[in-house]
Amino acid sequence: MEIESFSPNLTTKIEAILYLKAQPTSLNELVLLTNHSTDEVQSALIELMSDYGYRDSALEILEAPNGYSLQLRSCYQSLLEHLIPAQLNSSTLKTLAAIALKSPILQSDLIMVRGSSAYQHVNELVEDGFIRKRRQEEGRSYWLEITDKFHQYFEINQLPQ
């Protein structure tokens, strides 16, 4: 499984692999992907790590027990909270989909469809800004509706009626 391209140098090729894989990659896998010797790959990794060490970059190459990875420097981790929304598990995502399809929907109707675990999902979705709750004028339930953040995050202008 050799990677062919415009013939970049080994260091650049390893950088591209680490970027594209977006997860720790073992030395053996890098040897296979680049079709170079272990010594050559190790030398290129040292060069790449040194280059990132001296560069004024938000990224760094780290060696972990399961391999090498290209990642964001720890001093920039706080940006993740502001720029990348929380990851939703599949159950919460299904609850969000039910709300989006029927928006607005009464929370009591949602619970009938999704079960009592949807109460926790609703709390998470409100906290993450994907939906809003407003008290029903008559009755004890809440109206649930999607927010602009939902449209922006999922890049949906309008849902079909």
Residue 40's domain is classified under what CATH number?
1.10.10.10
- Asked whether residue 85 is domain-assigned, the answer is no
- For residue 145, the model assigns a pLDDT of 94
Q: Domain boundary residue among 50, 79, 108? A: 79
**Three-state SS at 77:** helix
Question: Which structural domain range is residue 97 located in?
Answer: 90-153
Q: What is the mean pLDDT of residues 63-85?
A: 76
75 and 99 both lie in a single domain: no
Provide the number of structural domains found in the chain.
Answer: 2
Q: Where are the beta strands (DSSP E) in the chain?
A: 59-64, 67-72, 105-106, 131-135, 142-146
- Asked whether residue 20 is domain-assigned, the answer is yes
Task: Share the mean pLDDT of the chain.
Answer: 84
> What are the φ and ψ backbone dihedral angles of 38, each rounded to 5 degrees?
-60, -45
Q: Domain boundary residue among 47, 79, 111? A: 79
Q: Is the pLDDT of residue 157 over 90?
A: no
Q: Is the pLDDT of residue 158 over 60?
A: no
- Asked whether residue 50 is domain-assigned, the answer is yes
74 and 42 both lie in a single domain: yes
Dihedral angle computed from the Cα positions of residues 116, 119, 121 and 124, in that order, rounded to the nearest 10 degrees? -160
72 and 105 both lie in a single domain: no
- For residue 6, the model assigns a pLDDT of 44
Of 76-80, 94-98, 131-135, 146-150, which gets the smallest average pLDDT?
76-80
Rounded alpha-carbon distances, angstroms, from residue 125 to 1, 3, 72, 111: 43, 42, 27, 15
Whole-prediction pTM: 0.50
- For residue 84, the model assigns a pLDDT of 55
> How many of the other CB atoms lie within 10 Å of CB of 96?
22
